[in-house]
């Protein structure tokens, strides 16, 4: 099946699901921990706050607020932190690949 047909089929299934037809399509929901111990994750990787923030794309101020308990990571940040805690090497490799792909696109446009 051509990609465009698969995309169209997926859209039809999504619309059917949204309209209440639960027998078509699949929905997945993953449980993300409500509380993430950011300091423990960072310390387990033996990284300073600036190193951790830079490596995983967080602002240093935000990281400090999380560790001081002034704020809590929300949604996507909790997901990323959960992945970092589980398999930091995988996250670093994925981010490295993404950056290399972006570099290729920038070079191609230049």
pLDDT of residue 20: 72
pLDDT recorded at residue 26: 63
Locus of tokens 């950011």: 38
The CATH class of the 31-109 domain is mainly alpha
Residue 99 has a pLDDT of: 87
Contact 61, 53 (CB under 8 A): no
Q: Are 36 and 73 in contact (CB under 8 A)?
A: yes
Q: What is the pLDDT of residue 25?
A: 54
Number of neighbours of residue 62 by Cβ within 10 angstroms: 15
Identify the segments of the chain with pLDDT beneath 70: 1, 22-28, 104-110
pLDDT of residue 23: 64
Query: Could you tell me the CA-to-CA distances from 51 to 2, 57, 59, 60, 72 in Å, in that order?
Result: 44, 10, 11, 9, 20
Q: What is the pLDDT of residue 8?
A: 80
Q: pTM of the entire structure? A: 0.67
- For the chain, what are the domain ranges? 1-29, 31-109
The pLDDT of residue 11 is: 76
What's residue 27's pLDDT?
Answer: 62
5 exposed, middle or buried (CB, 10 Å; 0-12, 13-18, 19+)? exposed
């Amino acid at each position: 099946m051509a990609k465009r047909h698969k995309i169209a089929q997926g859209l039809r299934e999504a619309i059917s699901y949204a309209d209440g037809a639960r027998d078509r399509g699949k929905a997945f929901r993953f449980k993300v921990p409500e509380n993430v111990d950011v300091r423990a994750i960072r310390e387990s990787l033996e990284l300073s706050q600036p190193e951790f923030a830079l490596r995983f794309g967080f602002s240093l101020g935000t990281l400090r607020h999380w560790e001081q308990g002034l704020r809590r990571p929300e949604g996507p940040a909790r997901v990323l932190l959960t992945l970092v805690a589980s398999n930091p090497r995988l996250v670093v490799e994925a981010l490295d690949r993404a950056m290399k792909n972006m570099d290729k696109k920038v070079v191609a446009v230049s």
